[in-house]
Chain A
């Protein structure tokens, strides 16, 4: 214990201790000031380095190689470039640990995590990282293994980092949301735990992310923030409780309902009748969720529930941000077989990515380079007009295999009808 070590002067950071929002600086200082704890010297130097960054407007961390036995990833190594000035925080690694789906905790487990992190780490925990990990931030190289062992003993496992399957995220969904169209925590846990080898032993061209949202509101932002977005969907008519519609109109007034619900429908599929009930053109409803969001008591998704899958979402580098685009318009997700089917499609998609993507290329960039048609053929999924905003507008394509393509399309419709029940083929 270096009793002599003084709190660094942090005039710039100190300015972030005022104001109504909770201050991370005050938290860092609490850790630094607690002389009884092993992390106090480390956090003093950490504050010193952060203040230096504020003064000079520069970052001072570099990567490296740190890990735990048996795994090739999950630890984010950080070595200080100004270690001579701040020796105690010269190693400040992060452990990415996967939380339960939906980020639910007992106070008991959080307290145990705090105890472990107090013993081996900095006492600083980010809840949560952008990929959905618990980020235990600030660990010396020698403490990485014992810290991980302690979390692992509690039933927690390392998340993903590097060119690998990454930690996933699911919305609150089934646990507390009436919009939920499938069991998100089940899908999340089933898929990720099936492919842990891809997470813990990075061997992919680049990162691959799954995210799970229970409805098209997409509260996990899966459409742009994941390669493989699993979004809740229903196929049949939405549920309307006309008595509740009438009660809503009575409370809010007709013009409110017309301005905020009827005319906000993107496909003009809603009509308010003279008796203040709602008519829905379900064939043209695009399941956008707006009317259901506003009239939570009166409207709900239908009963024939499952998921849509979109592939290729990513952030900027290298070609610019990309949204995921539809690769499966609808997949029922109720029975054990349905979940097995989703796992199977996930496996085929990841395998295709591993076989065909270039180094440091995400799925969205791969699709852009080789074309969605080739990707779909490679994964073995049938094409569907729901996958495009509109068909091709230019004639620059060789089409002498048209008849074969038509035959494939018909075959795809047949096999799709078989796996989805009859409903898909009829419409």
Chain B
């Protein structure tokens, strides 16, 4: 092996990878429309037009699949492609006549065309059991199972507004804010492997990492270890990454919670955080049917009742939380009432009530 030093080249230049038509009209686009789900049509100030066909992928791609996409790109799309933040692939073509053959090729290749406009796009997700060191569930598998169920809503644009879903396999929430977020929620404090703590963990770091100061150093069986005040612990798992002997993951007691109404866009309402609506769903591979049923119930309620252009959170803002829980049939419990810092702001300090 050569002791070669890295060329610290950073982010590569964009130009060599940019479709010539995008390069020519860079920064000079005028308007766009969507001729059909999965297809964008952009018109430049120069009069040039470009059609983009978007398709879903499994994100975790084997080289054969990448090459299959390259074959489609070479044959039908001038040899260029790009990916969206949600792992959809996009092919750009200069002529409308190229669109239909491209869609056909993607269909034959097993890549669903869609994910544009008011649809459910690909789920933003994490690594899970495939590659993460702290996952309580899988990521790609949950997403595959859910996208199979939601496939029709990916290839159509029949939602009130776009609907974005994320999944996270621990409470760190790497999947991020979303209209519907599906996240692991641990329900028991970590079990501690006292034999390992002293050798594996930097104890002051672990103590400092706890959001509720529930961890303190202790001598257990004559060995330096840690102990947890279980009355304080809210089972977040923050101690686990710096100290794997704090075993938070639990095949039975790491459950799945569903949160709704998060959004990043500033369109209409300000960006918002998702809110807890359901918890204690089983972590049930390989297809997580209980989670899929709950998510589909929420989507049906939103689809049936929201006005055009209302995102999930905006719809609930209009109809109120009592109606949301009625429409979805989900229970409202003491766990829905926030008691973390700043939570008093989430209480209803008014007589604005709905019956």
Contacts and interface: CB of A to CB of B under 8 A. Distances in A.
Contacts of B6: 68-71, 148, 152, 157-158, 200
B144 A118 contact: no
B129 A50 contact: yes
B148 interface: yes
User: Interface residue tally of chain B, by bracket?
Assistant: 35 or more
Interface string A21-41: 111110110110000000000
A54 B251 contact: no
Contacts of B264: 218, 221-225
A266 interface: yes
B323 interface: no
Nearest to A191: B11
Nearest to A294: B309
Given A58-B251, A110-B66, A260-B308, A316 B173 contact: yes
Interface stretch (A167-175, A271-279, A348-356): A167-175
B267 A289 contact: yes
Given A27-B65, A56-B251, A296-B33, A103 B266 contact: no
A240 to B, nearest CB: 13
B87 to A, nearest CB: 6
B321 to A, nearest CB: 19
Interface string B6-50: 111111111011110010001101111100000000100000001
Interface in B100-126: 110-112, 124, 126
B210 to A, nearest CB: 8
A24 B309 contact: no
A22 B174 contact: no
A59 B132 contact: yes
Contacts of B174: 130, 315
Nearest to B244: A62
Nearest to A97: B12
Contacts of B128: 59
A407 interface: no
Interface in A286-305: 286-290, 293-294, 296-297, 300
Nearest to B7: A152
B205 to A, nearest CB: 8
Contacts of B341: 319-320
B60 A59 contact: no
B129 A54 contact: yes
A12 B285 contact: yes
Interface in A346-376: 359-360
A126 interface: yes
Contact of A110 (B62, B70, B251, B271): B70
Interface string A48-79: 00100110111111110000111100001010
Contact of B22 (A12, A176, A196): A176
A146 B6 CA distance: 11
B63 A31 contact: yes
B249 to A, nearest CB: 6
B336 to A, nearest CB: 16
B131 A192 contact: no
B171 interface: yes
A101 interface: yes
Given A63-B133, A224-B176, A27 B85 contact: no
Interface in B217-271: 236, 238, 244, 249, 251-252, 254, 264-269, 271
Contacts of A426: none
B11 A100 contact: yes
Nearest to B10: A193
Residue of A27, A158, A216, A296 with most chain B CB atoms under a 10 A cut-off? A27
Contacts of B176: 130, 221, 224-225, 315
Interface string A195-238: 01000100000000000000011111111110000000000000
Given A111-B70, A321-B273, A27 B62 contact: yes
Interface string A80-106: 000000000000101000111111111
B85 A20 contact: no
A123 interface: yes
Nearest to B23: A175
28 contacts: A15-B286, A24-B61, A24-B141, A27-B64, A59-B136, A59-B249, A68-B6, A69-B5, A70-B6, A98-B12, A104-B14, A104-B82, A107-B74, A107-B80, A110-B66, A123-B63, A124-B62, A125-B63, A142-B1, A149-B4, A157-B7, A157-B11, A185-B14, A218-B266, A266-B268, A290-B309, A317-B238, A320-B341
Given A102-B82, A183-B27, A218-B264, 20 more contacts: A15-B286, A21-B58, A24-B140, A28-B62, A53-B129, A69-B3, A104-B19, A105-B17, A126-B61, A128-B83, A137-B131, A142-B1, A176-B50, A177-B32, A178-B42, A180-B29, A216-B267, A222-B264, A290-B268, A319-B211
